């Protein structure tokens, strides 16, 4: 208050006279309400109190500013010519101005443009154009319409300036609310990167399915693992998906049966991202790779297998949905003995060197059952194992050809969306906070800053306050933010 008192004393000599009057509290309710702001909660304040936040104290000396009624703009040459007949000195510019002036008229000191849709359109200066854009786009009657709709609405209301559509496009592009409520892009945002395993059982993809209807033993979840080379699938129904359960599954079902893998690929679930599982993988020298947040395509093998197993369970179950855990092994057996399109072989044949015998071959004996020779069978099985490497090599070539075709089709639909370090982006709210979603929640949240390009299409983000997000994000769930 001492600073404000000093300001008043400095201003007193500028006035011819002044007086100070005491006003009772009942006659000065606004000042009384403002005096209580420091000790009152916002909810307790009456609705008629208006607040203004000052960026700097009013006691500071304001900077000297040259004040004019209107800034120089495109209107001035036309007004000078139509009002006073003044032309530019340049002959080209003068000829151009005379040609343009035929489409304008000066009425009561204001410039109007002859329009095809309305009789006259009022011409606006840049500062007036900014006010018009803001009011029509987000004012009392604004609906945050798109750029073309915004420009057409301004024309229908009777306003014009030469860069109307371009300015409307820029304004909509930088509107915070429009960006956070923009539609979600459904096209792929980056090109497909196929993953190929170098040898059988070297790379496994893991995922979790569920919850299912409660089966025997209170089992509600399904832990699935698939080998990237042979397409062999292992699955185990569990009552709870914990880090310890995942570790036991990897040790007993994968490592003890098929040997140490080179890499495991999982999503960002807490069961896979915990310190205990990370220590377990590091102790066995197994690389553990995470997919981008909410980007299951990076673990496509597991996702496709999940759909296949889920479809198989649905078709085998009738009304007793709780029997899914008992039917699981029938579905797994069917999957392992069915030829897969990428390899042209069954997972069983690529894993063990020969085709499995299925129950129908015993009911209706096939040629190999009829011609079965118990004495020669061990020798034939060993011969199949000797030829297994060649079969796997042919399967590897087929798989590479298949992946190339899939990548070509996928990449034809890609709408590239790349970012650089330092760019501001928004991320999908449905992915980051799915529990808070509702009908009126924005589609995007942020902005965040890109701090690292992990690989093309995958980025690490940080909040503007400086906190780095723990997991990388794929460009499919990001959107450029314009300030």
Helix (H) or strand (E) run with residue 405 in it: helix 388-411
Query: Which segments of 30-178 are extended strands (E)?
Result: 104-107, 110-114, 120-123, 159-160
Q: What is the mean pLDDT of residues 212-232?
A: 90
Nearest CA-CA partner of 421 in 379, 369, 460, 472? 460
Question: How many Å apart are CA 384 and CA 402, to the nearest integer?
Answer: 25
Partners of 226 in the β-ladder: 205, 233
Q: What is the DSSP string of 409-477?
A: HHHTT-------TT-EEEEEHHHH-GGG--TTS-SEEEEEEEEEEEETTEEEEEETTSPBPSS-EEGGG
Q: What is the mean pLDDT of residues 196-200?
A: 80
Q: Which pLDDT score, from 0 to 100, does residue 233 have?
A: 92
Answer whether 0.85 is exceeded by the pTM.
Answer: no
Q: Which pLDDT score, from 0 to 100, does residue 250 have?
A: 93
Question: How many Å apart are CA 403 and CA 410, to the nearest integer?
Answer: 10
Tokens representing 483?
Answer: 């300030």
| 216: three-class secondary structure by DSSP | helix
Q: Are 424 and 448 in contact (CB under 8 A)?
A: yes
Nearest CA-CA partner of 71 in 127, 111, 132, 123? 127
Task: Give every strand in the sheet of 120-123, ordered side by side.
Answer: 104-107, 110-114, 120-123, 159-160
pLDDT beyond 90 at 255: yes
pLDDT beyond 90 at 476: no
User: Tokens 């359109």 label which residue?
Assistant: 121
pLDDT tens, position by position, 31-82: 776 676 656 555 555 555 556 666 667 666 655 554 445 678 899 999 988 9
The proportion of the chain whose per-residue pLDDT surpasses 90, expressed as a percent, equals: 24
pLDDT tens, position by position, 106-139: 988 899 999 887 789 999 999 899 999 999 998 8
* Ramachandran area for residue 26 (φ above 0: left; ψ -120 to 50: alpha; else beta): alpha
Helix (H) or strand (E) run with residue 147 in it: helix 147-156
Q: What is the mean pLDDT of residues 334-345?
A: 89
pLDDT tens, position by position, 410-443: 888 888 888 999 899 998 887 766 555 567 788 8
Q: Which residues, 6+ apart, have CB-to-CB distance to 148 below 8 Å? A: 165, 168
Q: Measure CA 204 to chain center.
A: 27
Partners of 127 in the β-ladder: none
**How confident is the prediction for the chain on average, in pLDDT?**
84
Question: How many Å apart are CA 241 and CA 220, to the nearest integer?
Answer: 9
Q: Which residues, 6+ apart, have CB-to-CB distance to 57 below 8 Å? A: 3
Q: Which pLDDT score, from 0 to 100, does residue 48 have?
A: 55
- CA 165 to each of CA 54, 183, 454: distance values in angstroms, whole numbers, following the listed order: 34, 21, 38
Question: How many Å apart are CA 447 and CA 456, to the nearest integer?
Answer: 21
Q: Are 190 and 475 in contact (CB under 8 A)?
A: yes
Burial of 14 per CB tally in 10 Å (0-12, 13-18, 19+): exposed
């Amino acid at each position: 208050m001492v600073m404000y008192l000093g300001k008043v004393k400095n201003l007193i000599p500028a006035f011819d006279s002044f007086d100070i009057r005491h006003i009772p509290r009942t006659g000065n309710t606004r000042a009384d309400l403002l005096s209580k702001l420091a000790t009152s909660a916002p909810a307790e304040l009456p609705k008629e109190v208006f607040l203004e936040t000052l960026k700097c104290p009013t006691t500071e000396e304001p900077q000297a500013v040259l004040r004019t009624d209107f800034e120089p703009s495109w209107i001035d040459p036309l007004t000078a010519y139509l009002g006073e007949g003044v032309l530019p000195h340049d002959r080209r510019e003068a000829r151009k101005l005379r040609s343009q002036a035929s489409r304008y008229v000066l009425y009561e000191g204001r410039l109007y443009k002859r329009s095809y849709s309305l009789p006259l359109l009022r011409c606006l200066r840049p500062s007036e154009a900014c006010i018009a854009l803001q009011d029509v786009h987000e004012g009392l009657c604004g609906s945050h319409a798109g750029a073309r709709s915004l420009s057409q609405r301004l024309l229908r209301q009777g306003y014009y300036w030469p860069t109307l559509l371009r300015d409307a496009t820029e304004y909509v592009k930088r509107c915070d609310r429009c960006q956070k409520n923009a539609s979600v892009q459904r096209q792929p945002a980056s090109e497909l990167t196929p993953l190929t395993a170098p040898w059988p059982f070297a790379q496994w993809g893991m995922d979790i399915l569920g919850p299912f209807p409660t089966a025997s033993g209170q089992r509600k979840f399904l832990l699935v693992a698939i080998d990237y080379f042979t397409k062999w699938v292992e699955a185990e129904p569990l009552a709870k998906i914990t880090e310890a359960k995942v570790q036991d599954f990897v040790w007993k079902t994968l490592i003890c049966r098929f040997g140490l893998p080179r890499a495991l690929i999982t999503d960002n679930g807490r069961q896979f991202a915990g310190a205990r599982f990370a220590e377990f993988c590091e102790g066995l020298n197994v690389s553990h790779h995470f997919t981008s947040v909410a980007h299951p395509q990076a673990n496509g093998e597991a996702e496709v297998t999940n759909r296949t197993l889920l479809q198989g369970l649905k078709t085998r179950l009738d009304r007793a949905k709780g029997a899914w855990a008992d039917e699981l092994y029938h579905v797994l057996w069917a999957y392992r003995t069915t030829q897969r399109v990428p390899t042209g072989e069954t997972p069983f044949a690529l894993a063990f060197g020969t085709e499995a015998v299925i129950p129908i071959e015993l009911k209706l004996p096939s040629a190999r059952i009829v011609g079965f020779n118990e004495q020669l069978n061990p020798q034939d099985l060993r011969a199949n194992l000797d030829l297994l490497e060649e079969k796997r090599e042919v399967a590897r070539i087929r798989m590479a050809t298949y992946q190339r075709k899939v990548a070509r089709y996928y990449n034809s639909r890609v709408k590239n969306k790349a970012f650089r370090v330092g760019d501001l982006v928004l991320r999908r709210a449905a992915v980051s906070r799915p529990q808070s979603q509702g009908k009126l929640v924005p589609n995007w949240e942020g902005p965040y800053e890109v701090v690292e390009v992990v690989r093309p299409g995958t980025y690490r983000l940080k909040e503007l306050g400086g906190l780095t997000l723990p997991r990388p994000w794929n460009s499919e769930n990001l959107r450029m933010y314009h300030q």
